[in-house]
Structure 1
Amino acid sequence: MLLKSSYQKSLGLILGFILLILLMCGSLVFGYTDTNLKTVYDAFAHFNGSNEHIIVYDVRLPRALIGAVVGASLALAGAIMQALTKNPLASPSVFGINAGAGFFIVVAVSVFYVNSYQAYIWIAFAGAAFSAFIVYFIGSFGREGLTPMKLTLAGAAMAALFSSLTQGLLVVNEAALDQVLFWLAGSIQGRKLEGLYMVLPYVLPAIILSMILSQKINVLTMGEDVAKGLGQRTGVVKLTGALLVIVLGGGAVAVAGPIAFIGIVIPHFARFLVGNDYRWILPFSTFLGGSLLVFADILARYIVMPEEVPVGVMTAFIGTPFFIYIARRGFGK
């Protein structure tokens, strides 16, 4: 634990918020079109319809806001999943929640020709919930019951299954392929604020409720018997946590597609900073998750300029070595 006192943790949380704001400002400035802080200021204070102002206002602003919200949602979902399952690899991507939500959206697009943001949100929630239920059900089989290793294997299997089904659907429907291919890679490029406005009424209350639930999560991590002995209704806490994960993960997929590894990397980094107290882990994960995704999106603009790499590719590049490290340490290898 790097930050020991409440004062240090509070200061660290403020610095995390400032880092997120600075990166969002950087997202407004940096890119293929040359702009600076004065251009950004003028785009908001004295919009004149120039190409630079349009890019700042209509292209980069949505990317900065969506990146912050999606990154925060994925990191928060991962932190809650790791607490509830006691699994260091738990995240929406590893447990197949992202893949399930993505598969449901691809079915809606390719089979039912759905093209509404509002519909995407509810379809993503349904896919995330279905995937979570299946993974929990499969992971509970056997004499030992639910274990971290079985959950991980079940999640990996369902993620592979949904990904394969998604690819199969796209092979037979080229029109749908053109519509969702870039989205499936995980990207916030070209996203409109309309999608964010539609998902915020679900995601924002989920973020707030997660913070309220943090103390109960602390008690639950002490062990189910201890939590019950302290009067906690553990079933209600677990169900609430699962619903929050579905809303946060499904909402993120609906807006930006399936983006991996943020839900794994950030909760561990937050735990390194503040220890095992989820009253601190969850807010730190929120700011750091948003910061990581916005930072990865800025990098994605420069890798193959003037083209752009989907931000999901960048987060995978950043997160894969960390995933291997956590997998080896978490399962005692």
Structure 2
Amino acid sequence: MTTRVRYLIPWGLLLLAALASLLFGAGSLPWQEAASALVGQGHEDARFVLLELRLPRLAVGATVGLALGVAGALLQALTRNPLAEPGLLGVSAGSAFAVSLAILFGASTATLTTLVAQAGALAGCALVLAATRLQGTGQDPVRLVLAGATVTGLLLSLTSLLMLIDQRAADEIRFWITGSVAGRQWHQWWATLPSLALATVVILTVIRPLASLALGERVAMGLGHRPGLIRLLVILVVALLVGAATALAGPLVFVGLVVPFAARALAGADIRRTLWLCLPIGPALVVFADTLSRLLVAPSELPLGVITALVGAPVLMVIVRARRMPTL
């Protein structure tokens, strides 16, 4: 398989996933009518379902997949650990806990939720990395995941406790635990764009130094880079991306694990090529999972987090059980 074909396949899968998301759903709209509305024809109800319900949901799902995929790739490159993933390292759980606190105290606007989610993501990531550094286990992949699972369990338990404090907020908080893009609107999507734009600027700034850091701190310093500053900026970007994704869809696990794993399988270990392939693979995964969540138990819907967990758990077991851990 040529390099060009390897790069085109994910974009083709993303196109198919997007079409499936627009044409198929849990409602009573036949796919033929949805296809007619997609080309500007069909009746008014079909156009409403397509443009006001499914299209915003597609945009939100694609944005969430892109953010989590890129965040996972950056975390794995930073820690040089193929098991590093926002959902496993306390980042998503910290974000969800912060959002739950905000809801408990009456927050309702999408912008405030996004900012709070990003602060929680930063705190969760910093807590896990600090714990592993104190114990000297930062280079042990399995122990890093165990530390992340411990922090994640603690934060999710605290989130569940918040649900008992205020029954009014319990239903809203439950959204952040299960994960879903159902009912997302354009104004919520727009609210995350400033932070995503900032994250993009920072990524373009640190991508070359981060690739050098993969060769070792001494090599990076010899090339004129500052490893401490690189780590700080990468953690900031991860917090921005995961916070925005959690604000939109709740704490989805395993997306940040599966997407970089698939990207490296196609492009190799170079973080620059990996990030380019995360752009289509992440959205394709989440959009496809969201479509399945609507169809498997129609007319009801499964939580999106359940589908991503079913996809990601086998990938995690494959990595852990490998005789030789994948190198980054």
Does the TM-score normalized on the shorter chain lie above 0.5? yes
How much does 1:21 deviate? Answer: 2.6
Instruction: Decide whether aligned partners of structure 1 residues 177 and 330 sit closer, same or farther in structure 2, where only a CA change above 3 A counts.
Output: farther
Map of 1:218 onto structure 2 = 211
DSSP-derived class of the 2:295 partner: coil
Instruction: Give the corresponding residue for 2:279.
Output: 286
After TM superposition, the score normalised by the length of structure 1 is 0.91
CA separation of 1:54/1:130 partners in 2, compared to 1, >3 Å: closer, same or farther? same
Aligned-pair CA distance for 1:109? 0.7
Matching of residue 167 in structure 1 with residue 165 in structure 2: no
Q: Which residue of 2 aligns with 1:36?
A: 31
2:103 is matched by which residue type in structure 1?
A: V
In 1, the alpha carbon distance for the partners of 2:302 and 2:101 equals: 25
Q: Does 1:76 align with 2:54?
A: no
User: Aligned ranges for residues 113-262 of structure 1 at < 5 Å?
Assistant: 113-142=106-135, 144=136, 146-149=138-141, 150-207=143-200, 209-262=202-255
**Which amino acid in structure 2 is aligned with residue 186 of structure 1?**
G
The one-letter amino acid of 2:56's match is P
Give the partner amino acid of 2:197: L
Q: CA deviation at 1:205?
A: 3.8
Structure 1 unaligned residues grouped into runs of 5+: none
Task: Give the Cα–Cα distance (whole angstroms) in 2 for the partners of residues 133 and 331 of structure 1.
Answer: 28
- TM-score, length basis structure 2: 0.92
Identity across the alignment (%)? 34
Q: Does residue 1:99 correspond to 2:93, yes or no?
A: yes
User: Separation in 1 of the partners of 2:69 and 2:130?
Assistant: 24
Structure 2 equivalent of residue 300 of structure 1:
293
Query: 2:309: which partner in 1?
Result: 316
Deviation at 1:61, TM superposition (A): 0.6
Distance (Å, rounded) in 2 between the aligned partners of 1:207 and 1:187? 24
Name which of structure 1's ranges 91-100 and 25-34 shifts more when overlaid on structure 2.
Answer: 25-34
Letter in 2 for 1:71: G
Shift of 1:190: 1.0
Aligned equivalents of 2:116, 2:42: Cα separation in 1? 37
Q: 8 Å contact 1:91–1:264 — kept in the other structure?
A: yes
CA distance in 1, matches of 2:255, 2:217: 28
Partner AA of 2:213 in structure 1: L
**Bigger CA drift: 206-215 or 278-287?**
206-215
CA contact (8 A) 1:91 1:261 kept: yes
Structure 1 residue 47 displacement after superposition:
7.9
Aligned residue pair count: 323
